[in-house]
Amino acid sequence: MDYFNIFDSHAHYDDEQFKDDKDTLLSSFAEGGICGCITCGTNTKNSYAAIELAEKYPFIYAAVGLHPLDIEDEKKENYIDIFRSLSNHEKVVAIGEIGLDYHYDSAPRETQIKVLEEQIILAKELDLPVIIHDRESHEDILNILKKHKPKGVVHCFSGSVEMMREVVKLGMYIGLGGAVTFKNAKKPVEVAKEVPSERLLIETDAPYMTPVPFRGKRNDSTLIPYTAEKIAEVRNTTAQEILNITNQNAKELFGI
């Protein structure tokens, strides 16, 4: 595989699974055709870390935000002020990863909704896109997006084709990753086929969501071509074409 123009719109390179070889790995990316990557914070602490990585590597950009699964452990009550101030950094390009997680429900749903809405309002104040996590919470996510109309992406999209059309109608993007390669993936494949090309982003969610044939191992941006090949197959195009389009879309959305 000799691809280029790979833009990974969603990863977590501050994750401890990368602590032993992060620098070796990230230093190899240019050679692997990776031209851009958004590394996402999930709380105040690792949002700082995301920015530090972005300072170190020119092709890395940062998103800052409080993830629904991190709400209960967040120590800083003034996280909105912290994210507002971090967003002044030139390499912060989005508020994320934020959203709702009704699979684990680790914080009460009313709290998750409140934290999500206040961060969407912050993103709009700062004119930044949002990176949305939606796990088993499609209806509430869609209602909140319709209410606030932020710009941004629903990452690791797991909704139906109908929901995808609603999200696209709001002007937002659809992030697809390793899940499209899974054997039991029906909805993500249907979405991959139907999503308008100008609204498609490609992502890893590294270290998670590793595409087949490496499912179960650690994911990183060098494995994006497996996802691109699957999307290309169902859209009757080439993986390189998918990479070209998603690179262009990511740069447009994140203002790079």
Using CB under 5 A, list all residues that contact Ni ion: 97, 205
Q: Which lies closer to Ni ion via its Cβ, residue 15 or residue 233?
A: 15
Smallest separation, CB 77 to Ni ion (Å): 24
Smallest separation, CB 102 to Ni ion (Å): 16
Smallest separation, CB 237 to Ni ion (Å): 27
Smallest separation, CB 96 to Ni ion (Å): 8
Q: Which lies closer to Ni ion via its Cβ, residue 8 or residue 97?
A: 97
- CB-based closest residue to Ni ion: 205
Say if CB 95 and CB 63 are below 8 A apart: yes
| Of 120, 155, 162, the residue nearest 139 (C-alpha) | 162
Q: Which lies closer to Ni ion via its Cβ, residue 190 or residue 207?
A: 207
β partners of residue 176: 202
Distance, in Å, from the CA atom of 149 to the CA atom of 241, rounded to the nearest integer, reads 30
Q: Which lies closer to Ni ion via its Cβ, residue 14 or residue 205?
A: 205
Distance, in Å, from the CA atom of 102 to the CA atom of 134, rounded to the nearest integer, reads 8
Distance, in Å, from the CA atom of 145 to the CA atom of 154, rounded to the nearest integer, reads 10
Tokens standing for 33? 């055709």
